[in-house]
Amino acid sequence: LCQPKKHLGGLMTASLVVVAVLLEINFSVIGRYVDYLVEEQGVKSIFVNGTTGEGLSLSISERRQVAEEWVTKGRNKLDQVVIHVGALSLKESQELARHAAEIGADGIAAIAPFFLKPWNKDVLINFLKEVAAAAPALPFYYYHIPALTGVKIRAEELLAGIQDKIPTFQGLKFSDTDLLDFGQCVDQNRQRQFAFLFGVDEQLLSALVMGATGAVGSTYNYLGKKTNQMLEAFEQKDFSTALNYQFCIQRFINFVVKLGFGVSQTKAIMTLVSGIPMGPPRLPLQKASREFTDNAEAKLKSLDFLPFTGLKDRNLEACS
């Protein structure tokens, strides 16, 4: 079996695509982005060109360039760079998979094709098998996100016997709220060294209890340090402290979800917290409003996720 250089676990952030003038990608700040994640958030693994990275809104050439830049700038700094290579076209997925291997990525992942959809497990596995075979030396991960793909094949069902068809299969990114499905993925595959990476940031603690080996999420771009504290408390079996951290994170996510929260808003928050200009999203997404950014900033400060300009601004909402 194909084995990853390091077992994929812990915290992995979903990288944003940085856009400058005329909606062209600003590759020059990716090195700064890497340093910020490692030094300020304690995040050393990256999932590139996924949902948060607007991978499916980029051209194949752009996706290749973004992947190259993350691998190059992350060398000797990041533990894992996993490239999402999913596409509607099998040929394009295979091209991106081969490219990821050529540039020295640590793994590849793919979503299910979502226009002409696979209608059962076997059809989906046949598609994923062809993608994985284009990079036979790289660990392959399935990116399960049914709310966006519309492919409702349960992950538990997909995993049954999958390594017989895809020898390089090493795990999945599970971006769904169905904890029954997730729990059964873990329970029925205990003898295998799969990576079970949970992708719903506000439910991570629940997934850890059920056996998640790590997490991939967008909020770890700016809440990575707080989430790492939760992971440390969980590993030390200090479940009360871990729960406090999860509730603290939920307070912020619950607040922004009510305002309207997605990739555009994540870019605005990341710009605010990191100081790195993330730029606007690609159409059809719209830039986050000034009102959203102002409200998010106030909430971040109230939770002590951002420094205050003055002590008079403090309230009792800050997380311990």
CA dist 195 and 215 (Å) reads 10
209 carries a ligand binding annotation: no
312 among known catalytic residues? no
Burial 116-133 (b: 16+ CB within 10 A, else e): eebeebeebbebbbebbe
| Catalytic choice (44, 73, 173, 299) | 173
173 among known catalytic residues? yes
- DSSP per-residue letters across the chain: ----SS---EEEEEPPPPB-GGG-B-GGGHHHHHHHIIIII---EEEESSTTTTGGGS-HHHHHHHHHHHHHHHTTT-SEEEEE---SSHHHHHHHHHHHHHHT-SEEEEPPP-SS---SHHHHHHHHHHHHHTSTTS-EEEEE-HHHH-----HHHHHTTHHHH-TTEEEEEE-SS-HHHHHHHHHTTTTS--EEEE--GGGHHHHHHTT--EEEESTHHHHHHHHHHHHHHHHTT-HHHHHHHHHHHHHHHHHHHHH--SHHHHHHHHHHHH-----PPPTTS-PPPHHHHHHHHHHHHHTTSS--S-GGG--TT---
| Catalytic choice (143, 220, 222, 245) | 143
Identity of residue 288: A
Annotated binding site for pyruvate: 52, 216
Task: Please identify every residue annotated as catalytic.
Answer: 143, 173
